Homo-oligomer: A and B are copies of this chain.
Amino acid sequence: MDLQPIDPVAETADAAAHALADVAPAVRAAALVAFADALTAHADELVALAMEETGLAEARLRGELKRTAVQLRLFAETVLDGAYLDVRIDRADPDFALGPRPDVRSGNEPIGPVLNFAAGNFPFAFSVAGGDTAAALAAGNPVVVKAHPGHPRLAARTAEIGAAALEGAGLPAGTLQLVEGVETGVAMLKHPLIKAASFTGSLKGGRHLADIAAARPAPIPFYGELGSLNPVFATAAAIAARGPEFASGLAASVGGSAGQLCTKPGLVFLPAGHGLDAAIAAAAQTGEHRMLDPRIADGYLRRREAILASGGVRLLAEGSARTDARAQGWVTPTIAALALEDFRAEPEAFLEECFGPIALLVETPAGTDYADLLDEFFEGELTVAVHRADGDDVSRLVRAAARHAGRVLFDGWPTGVAVTPAMQHGGPWPATTLGGTSVGTAAVARFVRAVAYQNAPQDALPPALRDDNPWGVPQRIAPAGESATWGDRARA
């Protein structure tokens, strides 16, 4: 059913954008909560559909649905809080340093209809009701979701439940719409009424869409999260202090959800002679898990084979990697190791994300500087993990990690991203196309733009910028007269 007529969808979204501008934030927040409640009320039906379409386990999917509902509630708080509006008020100032200054006030407004390309590996948290949708709705924008082909019935049902909940709570019809098919998605991305897009998926697919967004007659921001290798760096002291715990944590993080997570740790740098071979082999013995779909299984099997055939690679846990009669993949963790010198001999063989439950240990000789390795091999990552023990000086490593990643984590594993205001799920290219985060409340900043009002009468101002501040949002007020002293305290 490719190529739905897209004009009606875009025009409906545009009309909804105009109508949403008249909806008070309290109503928008309540609608996000209604969406969350509706998901929770339909949990049994939705989880059953998701299990059937994705092969993911029930416990994982129930947890993901709960996470998705909590995320919608967090964004309701963000809307009510109003800090994301970044309201600034500079009162008129006859004594301004450059001559009389008008009254200038600015605040963020919705960017316009957002197109969200759903991901396949998180049928709730990064799909129809996921973080990008929640953030765009919180900012006051209608959303068109391009369904992921891996869970079409779940996508349709989630959209139906979501649209009913949002409209039932007073948001305009067309606030949430769904389209299907690759060509329809591309046509929608080119539509002049679409003002921003988000995406979670592969580097190749994301780059293709980012290029389309940039080449439009009127370019739009394209926020793509394109995956990551998520390197882990462990010091000798960390391994000595917590070797068995490290081995079991690694296997669990690599194997969870069949390794089909953009934060799966793909490369682990640790000192040669770590002595963890047996512990890792034992920890990697888990039950088989189905992969999402035959295409992903095929890609995993090929890449895994190529990695294992590379020079110097030694298997610690071979793992299962087979397909059944319906071409579905069934897997357990594969963990291998090689010496740094072999890694360095052909790094390009290992520096492409392998989507599935495989990790490669890179064994480093004594005296290796991990900070230098980060600069040598890595560009942009979602995460860098540092495992260290008290007494280790990791300051250079941490600074290098911050140059190359959106999240630096200590003594833990990157999978299981906390949905919390400070979370940063993004990173320099190619982790993301444009920076920003797709988890955490800062995600809303991708879908707003600032508008300033100069010498506006109070009744012509948006409520958030008025002196009486009816929404009770934070207002940063620059008092008249302060410009005379700008810079003085820096010199003092």
In the complex, how many angstroms separate the beta carbon of A369 from the nearest chain B beta carbon?
Answer: 15
Asked whether, in the complex, the Cβ of A97 is within 8 Å of the Cβ of B70, the reply is: yes
With an 8 A cutoff between CB atoms, is A161 at the interface?
no
Asked whether, in the complex, the Cβ of B398 is within 8 Å of the Cβ of A429, the reply is: no
Asked whether, in the complex, the Cβ of B98 is within 8 Å of the Cβ of A454, the reply is: no
Asked whether, in the complex, the Cβ of A454 is within 8 Å of the Cβ of B410, the reply is: yes
With an 8 A cutoff between CB atoms, is A347 at the interface?
no
Residues of B within 8 A of A451 (CB): 402, 405-408, 424
- Asked, given contacts A395-B460, A420-B90, whether A476 binds B433 with beta carbons under 8 Å apart, the answer is no
Query: Which residues from 169 to 227 on chain A have a C-beta closer than 8 Å to any C-beta of chain B?
Result: 195, 210-211, 214-215, 218-221
**Docked pose: A97 CA to B63 CA in angstroms:** 11
Residues of B within 8 A of A419 (CB): 98
Nearest B residue to A83 via CB reads B476
Residues of B within 8 A of A105 (CB): 422
**Docked pose: A410 CA to B97 CA in angstroms:** 22
Interface residues on A, range: 35 or more
With an 8 A cutoff between CB atoms, is A399 at the interface?
yes
**Docked pose: A111 CA to B455 CA in angstroms:** 34
Stretch at the interface among A52-60, A238-246, A279-287, A483-491: A483-491
Residues of B within 8 A of A356 (CB): none
Asked whether, in the complex, the Cβ of A455 is within 8 Å of the Cβ of B409, the reply is: yes
Stretch at the interface among A72-80, A140-148, A149-157, A358-366: A72-80
In the complex, how many angstroms separate the beta carbon of A489 from the nearest chain B beta carbon?
Answer: 6
In the complex, how many angstroms separate the beta carbon of A115 from the nearest chain B beta carbon?
Answer: 16
With an 8 A cutoff between CB atoms, is A237 at the interface?
no
Residues of B within 8 A of A15 (CB): none
**Docked pose: A374 CA to B97 CA in angstroms:** 35
Nearest B residue to A105 via CB reads B422
With an 8 A cutoff between CB atoms, is A470 at the interface?
no
With an 8 A cutoff between CB atoms, is A314 at the interface?
no
Residues of B within 8 A of A457 (CB): 410
One digit per residue, 1 when the CB lies within 8 angstroms of any chain B CB and 0 when it does not, for chain A 94-116 equals: 00111001101110010110000
Stretch at the interface among A29-37, A299-307, A320-328: A29-37
Residues of B within 8 A of A214 (CB): 210-211, 214-215, 219
Residues of B within 8 A of A67 (CB): 98
Neighbour of A104 across the interface among B98, B420, B454, CB < 8 A: B420
With an 8 A cutoff between CB atoms, is A421 at the interface?
yes
Stretch at the interface among A264-272, A329-337, A434-442: A434-442
* Oligomer: number of copies: 2
Nearest B residue to A453 via CB reads B408
Residues of B within 8 A of A428 (CB): 195, 449
Residues of B within 8 A of A430 (CB): 218
Asked whether, in the complex, the Cβ of B102 is within 8 Å of the Cβ of A412, the reply is: yes
With an 8 A cutoff between CB atoms, is A23 at the interface?
no
Asked whether, in the complex, the Cβ of B36 is within 8 Å of the Cβ of A487, the reply is: yes
- Asked, given contacts A88-B422, A435-B221, whether A490 binds B32 with beta carbons under 8 Å apart, the answer is yes
Neighbour of A408 across the interface among B30, B72, B435, B454, CB < 8 A: B454
Nearest B residue to A457 via CB reads B410
Nearest B residue to A69 via CB reads B487
Residues of B within 8 A of A106 (CB): 422-424, 440, 442
In the complex, how many angstroms separate the beta carbon of A363 from the nearest chain B beta carbon?
Answer: 25
With an 8 A cutoff between CB atoms, is A296 at the interface?
no
With an 8 A cutoff between CB atoms, is A313 at the interface?
no
In the complex, how many angstroms separate the beta carbon of A98 from the nearest chain B beta carbon?
Answer: 5
Query: Which residues from 43 to 67 on chain A have a C-beta closer than 8 Å to any C-beta of chain B?
Result: 63, 66-67
With an 8 A cutoff between CB atoms, is A278 at the interface?
no
Asked whether, in the complex, the Cβ of A489 is within 8 Å of the Cβ of B80, the reply is: yes
Q: Which of A30, A98, A399, A407 has the most CB of B within 10 A?
A: A98
Asked whether, in the complex, the Cβ of A379 is within 8 Å of the Cβ of B77, the reply is: no
With an 8 A cutoff between CB atoms, is A452 at the interface?
yes
Nearest B residue to A379 via CB reads B218
Those 6 A-B pairs whose CB atoms lie nearest each other, nearest first: A73-B487, A424-B452, A88-B422, A214-B214, A409-B454, A29-B490
20 example contacts (A-B, Cβ-Cβ < 8 A) are as follows A29-B490, A32-B490, A36-B487, A70-B98, A72-B487, A73-B486, A77-B490, A80-B489, A80-B490, A88-B440, A101-B418, A104-B418, A104-B422, A106-B423, A111-B435, A210-B219, A218-B379, A398-B460, A410-B460, A435-B449
- 7 new A-B contacts at CB < 8 Å, known A410-B456, A428-B449: A63-B98, A66-B97, A88-B440, A395-B459, A402-B462, A406-B452, A424-B452
